[in-house]
Structure 1
């Protein structure tokens, strides 16, 4: 069981990572990610958060950790729930693993847990109809934002813990020789639009899309100084973005989340920027997030000056990759996205054989995990808009 004290670094405790171990050392090279991941946890589970009661938030986190097969996180969230006892009969039933359908005596909790289950298992199914059941059950828009961030964060947290556990088992930094394997199908550049011109394959695209929220966003004329500060530190276009104007209804959570994202995607050294974008595009394709896939396909093209592997990802991610290194990154991204409970050292052997260092592997794991978070927000709070 992990320590239920919120001041303890929950990821380190859940792996567990002992101070001074090699994996602890490499994780803490990305100290901004470490700090903002813990900061996100503390923001989402602070008692005074405007929105859902703490017990409701802990029930959601516990249900996600249980469903995802993360024993350590399940133990942590259950310990925090037990500390809040006594629970209502419906809350106790939920803590004991009852399905949302069995909680008819508490329709709000039933709606919240049903939404959490959908976003955990099949995020693309968390559509407008699913979202609007939450206001109908009595949740305010800030409460819905807090819930969506919490669900997405725990999806991220589960994958960070699973990835770090596998990395700790993998051990040292020496790479084995690349194994012989059949090459992935090669898409000749002559059969593709040149980089910079949109790809359109299987409903995915590299063209620029907009995004429209399904819930009321912040009116900037009513913004608090804190909300304005968080908007301006999150993204250069945040003041005109539905995405940020919705998430800033919970400003502290958005601030921590933006810090995590930027530290993962833009930190110097380690995995190349283009490869981080490739991993992000793969996760988005697997999760069915057309908007995120478009953004990160574009960024890969801009950085790598080619679009062949993106075409392969859009066509069939399972066989995508123009080199052994790309194929290893793609397969890691698919495995951790689809089955964090089954993710282990076996799923890291190909990236090690392809020559990735522990820091590069960590950066790959982080890129995959942050898009478990990003996709769930983009898919479940609004929709892409085509020009």
Structure 2
């Protein structure tokens, strides 16, 4: 069995410029495959492997990646899921909701999973699994486009998605109602692990990445092996030298968060984009676009091409096209830079689905 499923599905020629770029970013490839192995090949984490493959198949179908859908169907365990029919149906309903429109995530969906008998650890694993396959689908779509395979063009420019405008959170805290570069906090809908619940090695892993105080990371720590690989994927995409300038990677993360309606992620990564780009005007213009407005309005040609690609690639399913790739190449992006843009956008399609479905942002008071 291949150690690189995306390579297998792309039938990639190893002499290609894409193969060379992926070799430069080999850490992302390796940790993506390790995350896959943890989610689909281990027996140690519930839910059952059979249910995990069923979820992945459904996600790939919604994302319109038939080759990945068929791969999960063909490699699924022969036995039926160990969970009850009611539990399976609740999990399928949750997965389909958050993959198609993560902004629809509500605490009631998490409560429904709990009431169906899933543990907090299992719910976190299901959310990670859905986000991971969303990420995997966009990596596959992006790689195909870089090989010249995919939709020729899109009919409309990508627009800002809907976002929540509730003035208070589920717990009654003050909630942000607009996109902002201000620092925000985040409230989980499930209990994060307490510091005492982590082993010494797990706590050191969180500490190494400066995340011991993060409720988000301590919640995702309910499946610590997957969190560790996901963190290393993040580092491989956003912290590696060369390729797409860091500010434009952060801009792509912000664009994805605008499409999906994730105010919290947009606040974090818009600040980083300003820091690295040294262009407040670019970022503030993006944040100020009204719901349904064209995201690239008023931007220079290179920035508009990046925003349009990231916006289209963030949709479910991805609407990114060969025309988008041509515009990016015309703007001067080479294959490594294009791969960085694909990966940055794909990763935040994963991140947004965790942030929007496991909790919600609140203002700092």
Closer/same/farther in 2, CA of residues 211 and 86 from structure 1, 3 Å limit: closer
CA contact (8 A) 1:70 1:341 kept: no
CA contact (8 A) 2:56 2:72 kept: yes
Q: Which moved more, 1:323-332 or 1:213-222?
A: 213-222
The aligned residue for residue 57 of structure 2 is 62
CA contact (8 A) 1:15 1:162 kept: no
Closer/same/farther in 2, CA of residues 262 and 217 from structure 1, 3 Å limit: same
1:222 to 192, 197, 211: 197
Instruction: Please list, as runs of the form range in 1=range in 2, the aligned pairs for 1:20-99 lying within 5 A after superposition.
Output: 20-81=15-76, 84-87=77-80
The aligned residue for residue 280 of structure 1 is 253
The aligned residue for residue 295 of structure 2 is 318
Deviation at 1:8, TM superposition (A): 2.6
Deviation at 1:115, TM superposition (A): 0.5
In structure 1, what is the Cα distance between the partners aligned to 2:296 and 2:282?
10
In structure 1, what is the Cα distance between the partners aligned to 2:51 and 2:130?
12
CA contact (8 A) 1:108 1:138 kept: yes
Deviation at 1:129, TM superposition (A): 1.4
In structure 2, what is the Cα distance between the partners aligned to 1:75 and 1:344?
23
In structure 1, what is the Cα distance between the partners aligned to 2:317 and 2:325?
13
CA contact (8 A) 1:226 1:251 kept: no
Deviation at 1:341, TM superposition (A): 5.0
The aligned residue for residue 235 of structure 2 is 262
1:138 to 117, 128, 147: 117
SS of aligned partner of 1:210: strand
Post-superposition Cα deviations, 1:131-152, rounded to whole Å, max 9, x if no partner, equal 2211111110110111110000
Post-superposition Cα deviations, 1:70-128, rounded to whole Å, max 9, x if no partner, equal 011111100112xx22437x99xxxxxxxxxxxxx711001100010011100011121
In structure 2, what is the Cα distance between the partners aligned to 1:205 and 1:22?
38
CA contact (8 A) 1:230 1:248 kept: no
The aligned residue for residue 343 of structure 1 is 320
In structure 1, what is the Cα distance between the partners aligned to 2:201 and 2:188?
22
Closer/same/farther in 2, CA of residues 348 and 321 from structure 1, 3 Å limit: farther
The aligned residue for residue 154 of structure 2 is none
Deviation at 1:342, TM superposition (A): 4.2
Unaligned runs of 5+ in 2: 150-175
In structure 1, what is the Cα distance between the partners aligned to 2:282 and 2:219?
33
The aligned residue for residue 169 of structure 2 is none
Unaligned runs of 5+ in 1: 92-104, 171-200
Kindly tell me the number of residue pairs found equivalent between the two proteins. 334
Post-superposition Cα deviations, 1:18-65, rounded to whole Å, max 9, x if no partner, equal 322222121221011111111111111123232200001000000000
In structure 1, what is the Cα distance between the partners aligned to 2:261 and 2:302?
24
Deviation at 1:226, TM superposition (A): 3.5
Instruction: Please list, as runs of the form range in 1=range in 2, the aligned pairs for 1:165-244 lying within 5 A after superposition.
Output: 165-169=144-148, 203-233=178-208, 235-236=209-210, 238-244=211-217
The aligned residue for residue 121 of structure 1 is 100
Q: Which structure is larger by alpha-carbon Rg, 1 or 2?
A: 1
The aligned residue for residue 173 of structure 1 is none
In structure 2, what is the Cα distance between the partners aligned to 1:247 and 1:321?
38
The aligned residue for residue 142 of structure 2 is 163
Give the TM-score normalised by the residue count of structure 2. 0.87
What is the CA RMSD across the aligned residues, in angstroms? Answer: 1.9
Deviation at 1:213, TM superposition (A): 1.1
In structure 1, what is the Cα distance between the partners aligned to 2:251 and 2:45?
36
Q: Does 1:296 find its partner at 2:274?
A: no
In structure 1, what is the Cα distance between the partners aligned to 2:89 and 2:316?
25
Closer/same/farther in 2, CA of residues 115 and 327 from structure 1, 3 Å limit: same
The aligned residue for residue 247 of structure 1 is 220
